[in-house]
Amino acid sequence: MPSTFRPPRQQRSAATLDRIVKAAEELFAEGGFEATTVDDIVARAGSSKGSFYARFTDKQALLAYLGGECLSRAKATWAELLDPERTASRPLDTVIEELVRNLVADYRGSDGPLMRALTIEARQQPGGEFQEMTDDLDRHIRDSLEGLLRARSAEISHPSPKRAARVGLLMLDASTREAVLFATDRGGPLGVSDAELRRELTRGYLGYLGHLADQK
């Protein structure tokens, strides 16, 4: 059964919700979703468990609420970033570089802990609401990228924009997620800086696309 959120009806209740949300975001960033308890959240928020449960059925419901807000922001950003009309006058390599930079920034930024939590919950509950949420974002980015590649198909030698979007996004997202969200030791044998990661993923994806400008 999907987690539920009960929106506040009064201004004071809205202020309490804001404190709970801010406290949860801080604690998820500091120690992760798994290690954070409802007691931790209400203590940081200066609230009570009664106030928490008046709004959320459980900690997963809070994550679903935060995740929904996070993914809505992400979808709007990606729709603009990959808009064929907006990017028509820009070189394709610059557009792909911006795509990769934004992907790394998403995972490295303030929404990173939420994305990590959503990914873990989706893996632990196949077919559940968290997988549906992350699948929806992946589908949105894939379709937006496919539209961009179709519009720029004369600039690449890859025969299928649809496949290039699906497999390419898998390569880019999986690499970035592993390097940023799930890296336990940035100095390990596979550790790379964000700058190097961005540079090499951009080169790799442009090569996979068969970017024709690189072949002249």
> For each of the chain's 216 residues, which pLDDT tens digit applies?
455 655 555 556 788 999 999 999 999 989 989 999 999 999 999 999 999 999 999 999 999 999 999 999 999 999 999 999 999 999 999 999 999 999 999 999 888 999 999 999 999 989 999 999 999 999 999 999 999 999 999 999 999 999 999 999 999 999 999 898 887 655 677 778 899 999 999 999 999 999 987 554
In the 8-state DSSP scheme, what is residue 178? I
Q: Which residues of 130-139 are buried (b: 16+ CB within 10 A; e: fewer)?
A: bbebbeebee
Domain segments of the chain: what residues? 1-57, 65-215
Q: Which of 87, 88, 123 is nearest to 102 (CA)?
A: 87
- Candidates 120, 13, 102, 101; CA nearest to 63 is 120
Instruction: Tell me the residue type at 201.
Output: L
The CATH superfamily holding the domain 65-215 is Tetracycline Repressor, domain 2 (1.10.357.10)
In CATH terms, the fold of domain 1-57 is Arc Repressor Mutant, subunit A (1.10.10)
- The torsion defined by the Cα of 60, 66, 69 and 70, in degrees rounded to 10, comes to -100
The secondary structure of the chain in percent helix, strand, coil, rounded to multiples of 5, reads 75, 0, 25
Q: Backbone phi, then psi, for 5, in 5-degree steps?
A: -125, 135
CB 31 within 8 A of CB 14: no
Domain 1-57 and domain 65-215, same fold? Reply is: no
